[in-house]
Amino acid sequence: MTDFRSWRATHRAMCPEPGPRDLFLVIIINGRRAAIQHADEYERWRVAAERLAASEKCDVKVLPMSGSEMMNFLGIEPAPPQPIANLDPAFREQAVKNCMDVLRECNGSYDREVALDLLGHLGVMQ
């Protein structure tokens, strides 16, 4: 079997496009984490990674990650779920506002469904 890896440039950039749930970009240079950026900046970081790999002869990866992938990558363990009745009033108010914003401004059916479900759990909608 032929190994086609030898045909590729030794130093290159790998930049898979973010998926719909990806929020972050982890920039890795020669195997070491260099930065964490917002996924909206993908195009800018892809271009920068390609230029850096070519000019500095290094390997650069721009890796999109979801929130849960990022927590796992950084070794962050989420706290156990707390009853909704125990929410801080200011946090609850902000959560309701965020959900209402999603319902008004978001066209994604999944996001709207999640917002409606959360508003139901918060007792705002029956």
Q: Report d(CA 66, CA 71) in Å as an integer.
A: 9
Regarding beta strands 60-65 and 24-29, do their DSSP bridges make them parallel or antiparallel, or are they unpaired? Answer: antiparallel
57-106, pLDDT tens digit by residue? 999 999 999 999 999 999 999 888 778 778 889 998 999 999 999 999 98
Concatenated DSSP letters of 82-112: --GGG--HHHHHHHHHHHHHHHHH---HHHH
Q: Report d(CA 67, CA 65) in Å as an integer.
A: 7
Q: Report d(CA 44, CA 54) in Å as an integer.
A: 16
pLDDT band at 19 (very low <50, low <70, confident <90, very high): very high
30-41, pLDDT tens digit by residue? 999 999 999 999
How many other CB atoms are there within 10 angstroms of residue 5's CB atom? 6
Task: Please list the alpha-helical segments (H only) found in 38-80.
Answer: 42-56, 67-74
pTM of the model: 0.64
Q: Report d(CA 25, CA 13) in Å as an integer.
A: 14
